[in-house]
Amino acid sequence: MTFAMIRRGLVYILLSLAAFVSIFPFYWMVVGATNTSAEIIKGKSSLGDALWLNATAFFTQVDAVRIFWNSGVIAVVATVLTLAVSSLAGYGFEMFRSRIRERLFGFLLLLLSIPFAAMMVPLFVMFSQAKLVNTFTAVILPTVASIFIIFYFRQATKAFPRELRDAAKIDGLKEWQIFLYVYLPVMRSTYAAATIIVFMANWNNYLWPLVVLQTAENKTITLILSGLTAAYTPDYGMILFGTVLATLPTLFIFFLLQRRFVEGMLGAVK
């Protein structure tokens, strides 16, 4: 009994330590936004009074409305398109099985292991030939058909009751109506989980936007923050203020959809 209690105690210590390490950088980020750069790199970890200073510095250096608008438009459009295209494909692969499509699906899974770096150069040349460099279209288009999300939707569709589809067919619904009015509402949790994954991936996407977005007024907040950090003596107070702003949307979505996310993941792994 005592052994079990010691083990239990160790588990709590381990988890508390992990939780502390996980949360501390968030605390640091918020506190940092209220301190001056000099205080931050000297390790001051209590609230300061430089919030106004940091905010002013940030808003004078960064055209914040414009930059956040860019990030928002890219992330929202990319998420909507990705969910539409990938869930259609996941549904199609699972509901209408045929030998050719099974092979094709296996081939797509193989492609999943090819890193983005291997496509980056040709993609860049393609978009420069199409004169689309420095446009949101160029940022969004290559991300829309995501093999990972197609795979995710296909896995989740395995749990979708086929009887629902059969019943809807008997009621005379067309295939697209079944998808829209039966499948979509039933799979809410899956869509919620996918929304978190895809929105975050696009909001935070770095390498490809870095390559295609070239003028300051078209850049995303992620690119701008990285640029500020790369300065010879970065103004950490101002940057951490910007980092808090940039993290708020993803944190918001995270907490809004967290429960559904775990449900959705459960469905996918089953």
**Which residues between 25 and 84 bind another protein (CB under 8 A)?**
25-26, 28-29, 32, 40-45, 84
Query: Measured from the CB of residue 85, what is the shortest distance to another protein in angstroms?
Result: 5
Which has the closest alpha carbon to 79: 139, 151, 155? 139
The helix or strand, by DSSP H or E, that contains position 176, with its residue range, turns out to be helix 175-178
Q: Look at the block and give the residue holding tokens 């918001």.
A: 252
Residues in 179-198 that interact with another protein by CB under 8 A: 179
Q: Which letter does DSSP use for residue 217 in this model?
A: G
When binding is defined by CB under 8 A, the residue of 139, 222, 238, 241 that contacts another protein is 222
Query: Measured from the CB of residue 27, what is the shortest distance to another protein in angstroms?
Result: 10
Q: Which amino acid is at 98?
A: S
The answer to whether 127 and 212 are in contact (CB under 8 A) is yes
Q: Which is nearer to another protein, 16 or 60 (CB)?
A: 16
Q: How many residues bind another protein (CB under 8 A)?
A: 88
When binding is defined by CB under 8 A, the residue of 96, 163, 185, 233 that contacts another protein is 96
Query: How many CA atoms lie less than 13 Å away from 127 in the CB half-sphere?
Result: 22
Q: Which is nearer to another protein, 131 or 270 (CB)?
A: 270
Which has the closest alpha carbon to 192: 156, 166, 228? 156
Q: Which is nearer to another protein, 122 or 185 (CB)?
A: 122
Residues in 111-170 that interact with another protein by CB under 8 A: 111-126, 141-142, 144-145, 147, 150, 162
When binding is defined by CB under 8 A, the residue of 48, 133, 247, 260 that contacts another protein is 247
Residue 172: left (phi > 0), alpha (psi -120 to 50), or beta?
Answer: left
Q: How far apart are the first and last CA of the chain?
A: 35
Check binding of 215 to another protein (CB under 8 A). Answer: no
